[in-house]
Amino acid sequence: MSLASRLFIARAQATGRKAARQRRAQLERELAGYAERGDFEAILERYPSGYTHELRSILARQAMAAHENRFPAIGRY
């Protein structure tokens, strides 16, 4: 494979990863604004985790971040 072909493939992959990061960041912002988290989690329970794994991981990470901020004694204010 030529160098030009490799560069083309690398750029295409990088573009795809950037688009995926942007999509996930947008999804995280939208989920952070969702007030009724319990209702949303109940809705997700109706579907297999294969379809909802990305949403569940974002919600879990946001819940952990919120929980960490509740205890100023551990160094986070």
How much of the chain, in percent, has pLDDT values that exceed 70? Answer: 84
From 30, 19, 73, select the one nearest 55 (Cα to Cα).
30
Out of 12-21, 32-41, 44-53, pick the least confident.
32-41
Asked whether residue 45 is domain-assigned, the answer is yes
pLDDT at 1 over 60: yes
DSSP 48: -
Q: Rounded distance, CA 12 to CA 10, Å?
A: 5
Given this model, what pLDDT does residue 70 score?
Answer: 59
Asked whether residue 51 is domain-assigned, the answer is yes
Domain coverage including residue 21? 3-72
Given this model, what pLDDT does residue 17 score?
Answer: 94
pTM of the full structure: 0.61
Asked whether residue 48 is domain-assigned, the answer is yes
Asked whether residue 77 is domain-assigned, the answer is no
Domain count, the chain: 1
- Mean pLDDT confidence for 12-21: 93
